Structure 1
Amino acid sequence: MEMSELRALLTREGLELLDEVGEIASPADVTRAVSRLRATGHSPDLVSAVVGQAHLRARARAKFGAFAERMLFTRAGLEQATRLNVATLHAARMRQAGITHVTDLGCGIGGDSLAFAGAGLEVTAVDADEVTAAIAAYNLAPFGDDATVHQGLAEEFASTSRGDVRLPRTDSPDSSAGSAHPRGKRTGTGAADGGESSAVWLDPARRTAGHGETRRTSASDWSPSLDWCFEVARQHPTGIKLGPGLDRGLIPDDVEAQWVSADGSVVELVLWSGVLARPGIRRAALVTRDGATHELTAAADADDVPVRELGAFLHEPDGAVIRARLIGEAGRMLEAGMIDEQIAYLTGDAAVTSPFVQSFRVRETMPAHVKTINAALRANDIGRLEIKKRGMDVDPAVYRKKLNLKGSQAATLLLTRTAAGRVAILADRV
């Protein structure tokens, strides 16, 4: 979104039109809405802003639920925003640690700040981009003076010079950068020292020019730099949200590293420091699924369980468990072993499962040859097949086209590697 579009949107006419336009979920909906609104005489900037926001709100429901209906977004901000249920867990940890004020550096559209403020924490949100900061201010407006938004660089709001950390609490009295917001929220600059109960939330990212999608790549591309973020974490209680695929060699030894999975997808890695890091825990896998939350923790990377022959059950660890290198912990819980030293599948004979794995009851095992697999599918009357793979260079969508699926039953086919070689495992979900 360009500033001209945002100015057109943040007016009584713009906001009322956004509320009236209704759901715009598909490209065809976008085309129809643009034509209809232009025909009624609305300006190009207003039409673009309203249609774009209505489309983003439809996409945002997956992360924000009903809250999306009163929020504003950028494409980049929505892409990188924390899911509201996960952000709520961040806020809960802050409260449990006795934190009362959070400085959200790199707040984006304000997803985490919404959860912090909703949990009763005072929030100072900061983003370098003018449009994004204004949108965050709009989203946080219902919290009044308890949530203040600033435009500026993270490095200007938290200084690690001379061994201290300075955190903004309120707008500077002599600041002339503040501006009125349609719903009473201000954006501005200024800083004041934070107290013992303050914490920092950092979401460093490489942002593309404008307000398109963001991408996170190597450590040297992150802004603020990871070295700067880690220095802040050494000086103050901090949560640093990172991509789950971060090079583990970059993780400091004195933080708690928590990988988070939401409904089967690993969505983030958070590094916690100070009072936000739990004593004795350096690795954690947090799994949220179907409204329930489960966590596996350890003092370090867990030793793997021994390799064993394929048993009656196969278990696929959640991605957060794999990233946290806690497969061994999950295996011991399940009385299971690895199917191969390099493959993240567990196997055992005990009829047990856990929230940290997806479990399958093995029907039969065969060589991973299409002809052999098709024979087994016919014999088992399989017409609906889920295909999973690990340790084999195959594309399940392409592989499916080689199979004869004409039966009335359903099953799962797991293509993988064991100590005995490449195998296909026909199984049922437990």
Structure 2
Amino acid sequence: MEMAELTALLTPDGLRLLDELPPVDSAADVARVVSRLRAAGHSPDLVSAVVGQSRLRARAQAKFGTFAQRMLFTRAGLEQATRLEIAARHAGRFRDAGLTSVADLGCGIGGDAMGLAGIGLRVEAVEADEVTAAIAAYNLAPFGDVVSVRHATAEASDISHVDSVWLDPARRTVGHSETSRTRPEDWSPRLDWVLDLATRTPAGVKLGPGLDRDLIPADVEAQWVSADGSTIELVLWSGALARAGVRRSALVVRGDAAWELTAAADAEDEPRRDLGAYVHEPDGAVIRARLIGEVARALEAGMLDERIAYLTSDAPLTSPFVQSFRVRDVVPADPKALAKTLRDRGIGTLEIKKRGVDVDPAALRTKLKLRGDASATLILTRIGAKRVALLADRVAAS
């Protein structure tokens, strides 16, 4: 969003027009609404702003629920924003550590600050991009004096009067042509500056889950977070925010429920074992945290292959840290023979999962020409040098 669009939007008439707009989902909806608003005499900047915000509000429902309908967004800000339920969990750690004030350095559109302020912490939010800072101020206005928002850089901010910091370095550019900043030295603020600050004050640092593990300091707690099956972030906790004896954590959130696996270090994997009655796929946060061995021991399971993140066991145990599948049979991996096997069994609905093999599930599905009323899961992987295909059924979580 450009400043001219934001200026046009942040008026009583502009906000009223946005709130009255019907859902704008498709390209056809955009064309129709733009034509109608321009014909009604609204300025190009206002039309662009309200249509863009309507589309972003629809997308933001997944992260902010009903709150999205009173918020404003940028595309880059929404992309990087923390889901509200996850932000609330992070905020709880500050409160549990006895901290009362937080500098949110790089607050974006204000998602994390909402979580912090929502439990009564005093928040000083700082954002380097002028448009994004204005949007954060709008989104955080309902919290009153407990939150302040400043347009400034993290590096230039005085944080001597707060007792902790939250940092979410910008990993995308702002504006209409957002691009990813893949190198930590290009983030805003730079990762080395962030990590240095974290050595001097209690800090939570939100990063992408695929961060090079060699960049993680030895004296912080590294917590990988998944939500509803997707690994969404890595948070580094320092000082009073890091728990004693914990250096690795996998937090798995599904809906309103959450489970956590913690350890003092990367867990040693269990040895490989022969295929059992069940195959277990560890959650992405568990894999990233390298805690597969902890889960394997709890399930009395072993690795299906030393290099691939599948476990196998004979016991019908379930865990929130894995998706479990009961193995029906080993079936042919060749597409033609596999297609015949599935047709013979009347399988018309097939979930395809893969690890360690170069397969395009969509292309394979076309080749299989599925038909029938039965359903199953197909697991494609390798055991040693051999490519294997397993026909299985999902086991419902207990």
Tell me whether 1:262 sits opposite 2:227 in the alignment.
yes
CA RMSD of aligned residues (A): 1.2
Q: Deviations over 1:284-332 (max 9, x none)?
A: 0000013210111100000001100110000000000000000001111
Give yes or no for contact 1:238–1:274 (8 Å, CA) kept in 2: yes
CA shift for structure 1 position 366? 3.0
CA distance in 2, matches of 1:428, 1:236: 49
The answer for the alignment partner of 2:70 in structure 1 is 70
Secondary structure, aligned partner of 2:104: strand
Tell me whether 1:325 sits opposite 2:290 in the alignment.
yes
- The AA in structure 1 aligned to 2:86 is V
CA shift for structure 1 position 404? 3.2
CA shift for structure 1 position 402? 1.2
CA distance in 1, matches of 2:24, 2:391: 42
How many residues align structurally?
395
- The AA in structure 1 aligned to 2:172 is R
Change in Cα spacing, 1:88 to 1:216, as seen in structure 2 (3 Å) is farther
Tell me whether 1:137 sits opposite 2:104 in the alignment.
no
Give yes or no for contact 1:284–1:298 (8 Å, CA) kept in 2: yes
The answer for the alignment partner of 1:373 in structure 2 is 338
CA shift for structure 1 position 83? 0.7
Give yes or no for contact 1:79–1:213 (8 Å, CA) kept in 2: no
The answer for the alignment partner of 1:416 in structure 2 is 381
CA shift for structure 1 position 96? 0.7
The answer for the alignment partner of 1:101 in structure 2 is 101
CA shift for structure 1 position 411? 0.2
CA shift for structure 1 position 210? 2.6
Secondary structure, aligned partner of 1:279: coil
- The AA in structure 2 aligned to 1:194 is H
CA distance in 2, matches of 1:17, 1:319: 42
CA distance in 1, matches of 2:11, 2:362: 48
Q: Deviations over 1:112-138 (max 9, x none)?
A: 001111111111111100000000000
Q: Which stretch has the larger CA shift, 260-269 or 223-232?
A: 223-232
Q: Structure 2 matches for 1:210-249, cutoff 5 A?
A: 210-249=175-214
Give yes or no for contact 1:287–1:320 (8 Å, CA) kept in 2: yes
CA shift for structure 1 position 218? 2.4
Q: State TM-score, norm by structure 2.
A: 0.97
Tell me whether 1:253 sits opposite 2:250 in the alignment.
no
CA shift for structure 1 position 373? 1.5
CA distance in 1, matches of 2:107, 2:265: 30
Change in Cα spacing, 1:214 to 1:98, as seen in structure 2 (3 Å) is farther
Tell me whether 1:33 sits opposite 2:33 in the alignment.
yes
- The AA in structure 2 aligned to 1:143 is F
CA shift for structure 1 position 406? 1.3
CA distance in 2, matches of 1:213, 1:22: 26
Q: State TM-score, norm by structure 1.
A: 0.90
The gaps in structure 1 that reach 5 residues or longer are 158-165, 168-192
Secondary structure, aligned partner of 1:235: coil
The answer for the alignment partner of 2:21 in structure 1 is 21
Q: Deviations over 1:21-44 (max 9, x none)?
A: 122122221111111111111111
- The AA in structure 1 aligned to 2:44 is P
Q: Structure 2 matches for 1:339-378, cutoff 5 A?
A: 339-378=304-343
The gaps in structure 2 that reach 5 residues or longer are none
CA shift for structure 1 position 371? 2.7
CA distance in 2, matches of 1:421, 1:367: 12
CA distance in 2, matches of 1:210, 1:16: 24
CA shift for structure 1 position 401? 1.2
CA shift for structure 1 position 211? 4.6
Percent identity of equivalent pairs? 69
Match of 1:299 among 237, 240, 264: 264
The answer for the alignment partner of 2:358 in structure 1 is 393
CA shift for structure 1 position 336? 0.4
The answer for the alignment partner of 1:177 in structure 2 is none
CA shift for structure 1 position 77? 0.4
CA distance in 2, matches of 1:356, 1:284: 12
Give yes or no for contact 2:173–2:181 (8 Å, CA) kept in 1: no
Q: Which stretch has the larger CA shift, 201-210 or 57-66?
A: 201-210
Change in Cα spacing, 1:211 to 1:123, as seen in structure 2 (3 Å) is farther
CA shift for structure 1 position 405? 1.0
Give yes or no for contact 1:257–1:270 (8 Å, CA) kept in 2: yes
The answer for the alignment partner of 2:161 in structure 1 is 194
Q: Which stretch has the larger CA shift, 299-308 or 92-101?
A: 92-101
CA distance in 2, matches of 1:404, 1:426: 16
Q: Structure 2 matches for 1:116-131, cutoff 5 A?
A: 116-131=116-131
CA distance in 1, matches of 2:74, 2:125: 16
The answer for the alignment partner of 1:155 in structure 2 is 155
Q: Which stretch has the larger CA shift, 116-125 or 213-222?
A: 213-222
Give yes or no for contact 1:382–1:410 (8 Å, CA) kept in 2: yes
Give yes or no for contact 1:80–1:214 (8 Å, CA) kept in 2: no
The answer for the alignment partner of 1:271 in structure 2 is 236
Q: Deviations over 1:170-222 (max 9, x none)?
A: xxxxxxxxxxxxxxxxxxxxxxx325xx2100011233253543524122222
Change in Cα spacing, 1:311 to 1:329, as seen in structure 2 (3 Å) is same
Give yes or no for contact 1:25–1:59 (8 Å, CA) kept in 2: no
- The AA in structure 2 aligned to 1:66 is T
Secondary structure, aligned partner of 2:78: helix
CA distance in 2, matches of 1:246, 1:66: 31
Change in Cα spacing, 1:150 to 1:268, as seen in structure 2 (3 Å) is same
Q: Deviations over 1:42-99 (max 9, x none)?
A: 1111111111111110111011000000000001101110011111111111111111
CA distance in 2, matches of 1:210, 1:22: 25
Give yes or no for contact 2:53–2:73 (8 Å, CA) kept in 1: yes
Secondary structure, aligned partner of 2:139: helix
Give yes or no for contact 2:110–2:136 (8 Å, CA) kept in 1: yes
Q: Deviations over 1:403-426 (max 9, x none)?
A: 131111000001100136100000
Q: Which stretch has the larger CA shift, 26-35 or 272-281?
A: 26-35
Give yes or no for contact 1:237–1:276 (8 Å, CA) kept in 2: yes
